[in-house]
Amino acid sequence: MTVTLYALPASHPCATVARALALKDIAYERVDLLPVLHRVQQQRRFGAQTVPGLEIGSERIVGSREILRRLERMVPEPALYPADAGARAEVERAERWGDQVLQAIARRAAWACLSRRPAALTSYVGEARLPLPVPLIGLGARPTAMISARLNHASEGNVRADLAHLGRHLDRIERWMDRGVLGGATPNAADLQIGAGLRLLLTLGDYAAIVDGRPAADLARAQFPEHAGHVPAGALPAEWLPSVPS
Ligand SMILES: N[C@@H](CCC(=O)N[C@@H](CS)C(=O)NCC(=O)O)C(=O)O
């Protein structure tokens, strides 16, 4: 059966699904779309505007959490959800937080930085095969980043609030690590969801200054050692950044 992942380069929920496919050793094709335009293409194909979307034969599934559950049914081992009901509920809670809270923070962070440093956008293309050559993507980088920042609500107020709370979010992740909900011997769905969001933040110099060196950063790098893209520190105004304890 043909499996096709519809994705955006450097999209963190797409990285979550790609890692799950790799862990379960499911062969698939990846189709990378162009940001902004992907909304229309996804709406047409999946009836929803977001990536990731997965086709399994004629079946279409959209949403990283829905896709991971489908993959778990398709190939049960290695399991991404614990067999024990209590442990599974904890992993699902962390996974949901990674999707509903951290995902949006990382998205706002990336577009806030890229809209101020659009030349960095092409660094996120990495190995992706896009329908346009990279120099053309570079030409469209500024409007793409500006529109995406708007669509993803990467306003000054939201981004500053995210930055002010980031330390507490990392504390929460590390409490889950201490309790073994995250960072166990074998990766679970929450490791993949939260790790991908953190890994995207680590490509942004202004955020890496806060995240790097913390156990949460190790969690991200363990699941996602490589990640295309970099926006050097200094993209965001210095007064937005919380002071990091030395
Ligand atoms: N929480 C959902 C949503 C994913 C999502 O919002 N994906 C972004 C890319 S990372 C997207 O396609 N957003 C629409 C846009 O930015 O135009 C999931 O995990 O699948």
pLDDT digits (tens, 9 = 90+) for 76-104: 999 999 999 999 999 999 999 999 999 99
Pocket test for ligand 1, best of 31, 51, 64 (most atoms within 8 A of CB): 51
| Helix, strand, coil distribution of the chain in percent, nearest 5 | 60, 10, 35
pLDDT, position 100: 98
User: 66 CA to middle of ligand 1, Å?
Assistant: 13
User: 245 CA to middle of ligand 1, Å?
Assistant: 33
pLDDT, position 243: 80
User: 103 CA to middle of ligand 1, Å?
Assistant: 8
| Residue minimizing CA distance to atom 5 of ligand 1 | 50
- Residue 32 and residue 129 in contact, taking contact as beta carbons nearer than 8 Å: yes
pTM exceeding 0.75: yes
- Whether 214 shows a pLDDT value over 60: the answer reads yes
Identify the burial level of 20 via C-beta atoms within 10 angstroms of its C-beta, where 0-12 means exposed, 13-18 middle and 19 or more buried.
buried
pLDDT, position 183: 98
pLDDT band of residue 128 (cuts 50, 70, 90) is very high
User: 246 CA to middle of ligand 1, Å?
Assistant: 35
| Residue minimizing CA distance to atom 2 of ligand 1 | 63
Instruction: Determine the Cα–Cα distance for residues 241 and 223; give it in Å rounded to an integer.
Output: 27
pLDDT band of residue 244 (cuts 50, 70, 90) is low
Mean pLDDT over each residue of the chain, to the nearest integer = 96
Give the ligand 1 atom nearest the CA of 52. Answer: 20
Q: List, chain by chain if needed, residues with CB within 6 Å of any ligand 1 atom.
A: 8, 11-13, 39, 49-52, 63-64, 99, 103, 107, 148, 151-152
Mean pLDDT value across residues 21-41:
95
135-185 pLDDT, tens per residue?
999 999 999 999 999 999 999 999 999 999 999 999 999 999 999 999 999
pLDDT band of residue 1 (cuts 50, 70, 90) is confident
- Residue 166 and residue 210 in contact, taking contact as beta carbons nearer than 8 Å: yes
